[in-house]
Amino acid sequence: MGDLREELEKAFEAEGGNEATDEENAAEGSADPAVDDQSTGASPDPEGEAGTDESGDAQPESEAGDQDASGDTAAEKAAGEAEKEPEEGAGSGKKAEKDALDSAPHSWSPAVREHWSEIPKAAREVIVKREGEILSKMEELKGYTEFSRQFNEVIRPFEALMAAQGVTALEATKNLMTTSARLTMGTAQEKAAVVKEIIDGFGVDIGILDGVLAGEAGAGENAQIAALLDQRLAPIQNFMQQQANVQRQQYQTQAQEVNSTIEQFYADPKNEFAGDVASVMADLMEAAANRGQEMSLEKAYESACYADPEIRKILVSRERAAAAKENAARVSGKKAAASSISGSPGGASSSPVSKGIRGDIENAWDALQEG
């Protein structure tokens, strides 16, 4: 940015100097042409001098005039053609440069581009030049940017490993490529030395390495032994598979029986509260199983119902009602039995007046005594 600022300042200064020079030239152009003739020291050519040559012989004035005129015309024509050729070759370049100077860089905002025409021409030339250099550099850096992105994606999974080893990504890459080059292009001795460095540096167990190398040599024999073992063990594996199938079938049968028993238990009207206390029943049966005891569904249901206050109240009420009903039925039976007993001294049957339960009992007792 410092260089751009200096170039802009120089351009502004140069633009100011060019304007001063244009004003001076305009002032000089307005002066008397006679002054220019006198300053050049030119004087009118006499007729006698115009017609003489180097030998001093007089020549006709018309011939001298023709030679001078023809000489000046040829020189001017040659100079004009020499100047015209490079101008035609650079015409397209100048046009493109003029177009660039007339329009502001596209990277500028519209508001800033509005002031482009106010910038001096020399400053615009510097800006256009610098913009072109920046765009060219950006185009060159595209390849490096893409390479950097791809490189970072490749090494990202190994950043923790490189940090633990205390190396940068470039150092790690250089080490890997150096090792690869030594293993690829080195002599047998150099390759062995590289392998030794790897074994020492990464702590490879020699015994395990030897076993791996030996296993590669006898891989075919090991495959044959494995196939023979599979053939010999096939009957045992089949038997174990059959036993597993039997156990699975037994488990499924038991599960079906248990489910059927539970469904029947829930469908029994006596167990009308089974759905309300199902979770409590499961907890009680699980606790009993943990203690090594077996609890039936009936026992679990009874315990769960009496553990629930509302259900216990309903059951107790029902039990009391049933007991009262049973007592009433028993008393009624006794009354019927007492009323059926008859007997009197004259042989005539008489029905004593009932005086309540106590009276009925006394009457029955008296009748027995008399008989």
Q: What is the mean pLDDT of each run of 10 residues along the chain (371 residues)?
A: 62 56 47 41 42 43 44 51 53 64 80 85 89 87 87 90 90 91 91 90 84 66 75 82 87 87 87 88 91 89 89 87 85 72 49 58 65 52
CA gyration radius, the chain: 64
Sequence-separated (6 or more) residues with CB below 8 Å from residue 362: 355
- The answer to whether the pTM exceeds 0.75 is no
**Domain annotation covers residue 130:** yes
**Domain annotation covers residue 274:** no
d(CA 311, CA 305): 6
Taking residue 124's Cβ as centre, other Cβ atoms within 10 Å add up to 21
**Domain annotation covers residue 135:** yes
DSSP classification of residue 52: B
**Domain annotation covers residue 344:** no
What pLDDT does 157 receive? 92
CB-CB contact of 175 with 162 (8 Å): no
CB-CB contact of 59 with 53 (8 Å): yes
Sequence-separated (6 or more) residues with CB below 8 Å from residue 315: 305, 306
Residues 152/157/163/164 CA torsion (nearest 10 deg): -160
Cα dist from 8 to 17, 58, 94, 96, 112, whole Å: 14, 64, 21, 22, 17
**Domain annotation covers residue 278:** no
Tokens of 275: 């759905």
What pLDDT does 78 receive? 52
**Domain annotation covers residue 298:** no
Q: How many domains does the chain have?
A: 1
Tokens of 197: 């460095």
**Domain annotation covers residue 346:** no
Tokens of 337: 């039995």
Cα dist from 243 to 39, 153, 210, 238, 362, whole Å: 132, 54, 42, 9, 79
Range of the domain at 156: 1-24+94-188
CB-CB contact of 123 with 11 (8 Å): yes
Whose tokens are 């074994």? That residue is 199
CB-CB contact of 360 with 335 (8 Å): yes
**Domain annotation covers residue 134:** yes
What pLDDT does 360 receive? 66
